[in-house]
Structure 1
Amino acid sequence: MMKKDAVDGHLARLREDGFTVLRDAVAPDAVAALIDALDRIQRDHGLGPARTGFEGRNTVRINNLLTYDPAFWQVPLHADVLAVAEAVLDPELLLSSYCSLVVGPGQAAQPLHADTQLLPLPRPHMPITLNAIWALSDFTEETGATRIVPGSHRLDRAPDYGRDYDTVAATMPAGSIMLFDSALWHGAGSNNSDRRRYAFSCAYCWGWMRQQENLQLGIPREVAVTFPRRLQELCGYSVYKGQFGHIDNHDPIELLGRERGKRMVWEASDAKAAHAASAAAGDEAGNTALHN
């Protein structure tokens, strides 16, 4: 688990620049296994490039990755990423979206954008989504490293669609993970190499937000029941602050055969009131004993 001073360093860079990089975050053998899994899933399921220019017609995006192979479960559960994400948001955060970003040779650069620019919120605002870009290949200028505008998360507007801006390439070696505020201006670079650029996008949001992917409906329950409990909670089988997301006053995780994680807020209120009454009664009994 990442130490507090390291977490604080990443938080400071996120506040100032809008992004930070965890280097050597994924072991080489794990990187190789994830690439093999992506190639196999694409081949076995006949998956091809995206159908829109924004997504990239020479880019393979596999959504709902958790349904395909347990090899992909480790990504949203990465301990160091979660340590930073929970510090930016809170421990009851949710997985908002999770997909592959395999950029093929000849793919043009993606238009610059901010991931949450469609939400009707005045900018700048507090971080509401934190994205983790996993570099499974070396991110270089040639292979299409993500282009970013450092500090743009603090601007009062989103970029104009299709307009050119001065950007820098978020270069990093394979096995690195870039975390960035969803308000940061960014876009995939152009792949001018003869190699595929492998990556994941794994985004987290507050527990009170609607997720970008509807994971509760997209992941069959017979698959979700096999997940580790923390992954189940990240997918939405949880209740935020004991209030938001309940089903008839029950924790949704009970649908997966788990014991509930916490009491509903109103139950907790009754328990708190009962505890206060008990404490008051104990104080009164003590005072009576002192006077007798």
Structure 2
Amino acid sequence: MLTDVQIQAHADRIRNDGFTVIEGAASPELIEGLITALQRIEREHQLGPAKTSFEGFKTVRINNLLTYDDLFWEVPLHGNVLPVVERVLDKECLLSSFCSLVLGPGQEAQPIHEDTQLIPLPRPHIPITINAIWALSDFREDNGATRIIPGSHKYDSSPEYGHDYAAVTATMKAGSVMLFDSALWHGGGANDSDERRFAFSCAYCWGWMRQQENLQLGIPQETAKRFPRRLQELCGYSVYKGQFGHIDNHDPIELLGRERGKRMVWEATDAKKAKMTGVAGKP
């Protein structure tokens, strides 16, 4: 696992350069299992390529991955990745989206874009979403490795859609994970090889933001009940700062049969006041 010094170094690179690569983040055994699971799911559910040019006519994207195989639960929680995200955002961040990105031979390059441009905030702004690109295959120049423009998260505008930009190819070995500020200009590369390129996109956001995928409705509650508690919280069964996301002043994690997490902010304020004055608060 990463040391605290390593976690801080990766977080600093994200803030300064817009991205960082955690080499060898996942074990070969986990990577092999994840690819095997993806291939099985494609067959069993007869899943095919996307239907839009942006998503890729020769790219298989599987959304709502947490519902398909328990092995996928390890990805958002991974101990070499999540601590870096939490250092850039905070420990009450949410999982925003989690999908596969399997590029088939002949897939054209994706237009350079940034993932926050539909959010009405002036650029540059603080990191609000962090994307983790998991290389399940080696990321090479010829098989669709992600292209990035380092430092572009600090630009005061978004890229012009369809415009050709000089970009750096983020090559990395299978098992490595590239984390980047989603305001960074980036795009999938072209797969000119004769093999499929396997990857995950696992994005996280602040706890006060709306997630890209509606995980509370998309994941059956019976499935969510089996998640580790931290994964339940990441999916939105939590209350940010004791205020945002509550249900009638209760932590939504109680819906999954868990004991509540933290007090609501109003209750915590009264408890703090009572402690300071020596007056017992209500139970």
Shared fold (TM-score, shorter chain, > 0.5):
yes
* Counterpart for residue 101 of structure 1: 101
What is the one-letter code of the residue matched to 2:75? V
Q: Which amino acid aligns with 1:74?
A: E
Cα distance between partner residues in 1 of 2:17 and 2:104: 29
* DSSP-derived class of the 2:278 partner: helix
CA distance in 1, matches of 2:135, 2:216: 27
The superposition leaves residues 166-188 of structure 1 with CA deviations (integer Å, 9 ceiling, x where unpaired) of: 00100000000000001000000
Q: 3-state DSSP class of the match of 1:202?
A: strand
Structure showing greater radius of gyration is 1
Measured in 2, the distance between the counterparts of 1:223 and 1:116 equals 30
Deviations 1:221-278 (A, max 9, x none): 0110010000000000000011000000100000000000011111101101111111
Q: Tell me if structure 1 keeps the 8 A contact 2:112–2:186.
A: yes
Distance 1:251 1:222 in 2: 18
Counterpart residue number, 1:185: 185
Contact 2:239 2:245 in 1 (8 A): yes
Amino acid of the structure 2 residue aligned with 1:133 = I
Q: Deviations over 1:31-76 (max 9, x none)?
A: 1110000000010001110000000010000000000010100000
Query: What per-residue deviation string (whole Å, max 9, x for no partner) do you get for residues 74-96 of structure 1?
Result: 00001121111011000000000
Alignment correspondent of 1:110: 110
Aligned amino acid, residue 221 of structure 1: Q
Pair 1:168-2:188 in alignment: no
Matched residue SS, 2:241: coil
Partner of 1:116, secondary structure, is: coil
- Other-structure match for 1:259: 259
Partner of 1:144: 144
Structure 2 letter corresponding to 1:139:
F
Letter in 2 for 1:109: A
How far apart, in 1, do the equivalents of 2:270 and 2:2 lie? Answer: 38
Q: After TM superposition, give the deviation of residue 12 of structure 1 in Å.
A: 2.0
Range with greater deviation from structure 2 (3-12 or 183-192): 3-12
Question: What is the distance in 2 between the residues matched to 1:76 and 1:244?
Answer: 22
In the TM superposition, what are the counterparts of 1:200-239 in structure 2 within 5 Å?
A: 200-239=200-239
1:49 counterpart SS class: coil
How far 1:15 sits from its partner (Å)? 1.8
Q: Give structure 1 stretches of 5+ with no counterpart.
A: 280-292
Q: Deviations over 1:95-133 (max 9, x none)?
A: 000000000000000011001111110000000000000
Q: How many residues matched?
A: 280
TM-score when normalising by structure 2? 0.98
Q: Residue 287 of structure 1 corresponds to which residue in structure 2?
A: none
Distance in 2 (alpha carbons) for counterparts of 1:92 and 1:80 = 17
Equivalent residue of 1:20, what SS? Answer: strand
Separation in 2, partners of 1:72, 1:271: 40
Q: Tell me which moved more, 158-167 or 10-19.
A: 10-19
Structure 2 partner of 1:21: 21
**Matching of residue 59 in structure 1 with residue 90 in structure 2:** no
5+ unaligned residues in a row in structure 2: which ranges?
Answer: none
Q: How many percent identity over aligned positions?
A: 71
Counterparts of 2:153 and 2:73 in 1: how far apart (Å)? 29
**Cα distance in structure 2, aligned partners of 1:107 and 1:161:** 18
| Partner residue in 1 for 2:195 | 195
CA contact (8 A) 2:11 2:85 kept: no
Deviation (angstroms), 1:208:
0.3
For 2:74, what is the secondary structure of its paired residue? coil
Q: Determine if the alignment matches structure 1 residue 42 to structure 2 residue 42.
A: yes
Please say if residues 92 and 240 of structure 2, whose CA atoms lie closer than 8 Å, have aligned partners that are also in contact.
yes
